[in-house]
Amino acid sequence: MTDQADTVEAVRWQGNRLQLLDQRVLPQEVAYLSYGDVDAVAGAIRDMVVRGAPAIGITAAYGIVLAARARFAQSPDGWKPAIEADLQTLAASRPTAVNLFWAIERMRELMADIDGNPESTLLAAARRIHDDDIAANRRMGELGAALIETPCAILTHCNAGALATGGYGTALGVVRAGFAAGKITHVYADETRPWMQGARLTAWEMVQEGIPVTLQAEGAAAHLMKQGKVGWVIVGSDRIAANGDVVNKIGTYGLAVLARHHGVKFMVVAPASTVDMGITCGDDVTIEQRSPDEVLYLTGQRIAAVGAEAWNPAFDVTPAALVDAIVTERGVVLNPDAERMRAMMERA
């Protein structure tokens, strides 16, 4: 069985250019798009060519390499102040994913100490961010799988797999590790409207690896839980507040409410870079509002009555009180609150 998490890369650097797997056309087509300038990279993040908080952060780091190359060529002595406009362009591409801002700040701090041409130093840093993410995902896979005591099926929402990260995945990293250990027997995947990440991406990843997967409409989740068919809900996150509130793809909050009612455990898997200790709770997070057309249309065809409006928040906030476990590469936080989150983040 091929480990698709290793053979398919959402983000890669090749031939001095950034290449992104175009996730808008999966699973019908596996196509990479090549980028040589930072404005195009920001557009790729905004337009969902690449998505998933860790993958967005890695993409931004490589985008800064491209920006530094161009700015240094224009003005070897003035590239540092000039590049700030490029960093702002990247920051504006997706306002909710904290990994984006984490990567930008990490690269900005590094730039302050660079003398001469910055490209090689920044490229090495971007590659470290990429490699560290893969290593963190594998560690989270082990930690998350260890929480599952009895073999069971799990339910997941959106896509938190290799396609959303540097490789291996967060929530799906736990699935990979758990399936290999005989702890996870089956995956139920929500379709995840309106971008259908569950249908197009999660189901595809699971099929590639021979992990049994069943797709369902979001509205089927309550009935599935009522029948006792899943033991855990396992999801990723785009931002986690200091108190353990979780910001993730719209629909996650509803799953957490359903899970608590039906006695199903709820696990959130995300790298420590997703934890934003600068915000007290999830209500402090700016929730990205995307185009109503994403709801009103499907594959270019209008599916809603003409004259109807649409509300399209990309994310929602799941209160920490509904979360049984947060898993990062630094460790596991059970029943998260501000004190437990702070202790986890202080670990080396």
Q: May I ask the CATH class of domain 4-134? A: mainly alpha
Q: Model confidence over 19-54: pLDDT tens digits? A: 999 999 999 999 999 999 999 999 999 999 999 999
Backbone angles phi, psi at 113, to 5 degrees: -105, 10
pLDDT band at 68 (very low <50, low <70, confident <90, very high): very high
Tell which phi-psi region holds residue 173, choosing left (phi > 0), alpha (psi between -120 and 50) or beta.
alpha
- What DSSP designation does 183 have? -
Mean pLDDT of the chain: 96
For residue 3, the model assigns a pLDDT of: 47
- Residues assigned a catalytic role: 238
Residue 162 sits at the vertex; the CA angle it makes with 44 and 14, to the nearest 5 degrees, is 55
Answer whether residue 4 shows pLDDT above 90.
Answer: no
Burial annotation 231-254 (CB, 10 A radius, 16+ → b, else e): bbbbbbbbbbbbbbbbbbbbbbbb
For residue 7, the model assigns a pLDDT of: 63
Mean pLDDT (whole number) for 104-114: 96
For the domain made up of 140-345, give the CATH fold. Answer: Rossmann fold (3.40.50)
For residue 6, the model assigns a pLDDT of: 56
Mean pLDDT (whole number) for 176-181: 98
Q: Model confidence over 291-347: pLDDT tens digits? A: 999 999 998 999 999 999 999 999 999 999 999 999 999 999 999 999 999 999 998
Q: Model confidence over 184-210: pLDDT tens digits? A: 999 999 999 999 999 999 999 999 999
Q: Give the start-to-end residue ranges of the domains of the chain.
A: 4-134, 140-345
Mean pLDDT (whole number) for 145-153: 98
For residue 181, the model assigns a pLDDT of: 98
Q: Would you mind telling me the total number of residues written for the chain in this entry?
A: 348
Answer whether residue 1 shows pLDDT above 50.
Answer: no
For residue 96, the model assigns a pLDDT of: 86
pLDDT band at 2 (very low <50, low <70, confident <90, very high): very low
Question: Cis before residue 27, ω within 30 degrees of 0?
Answer: yes
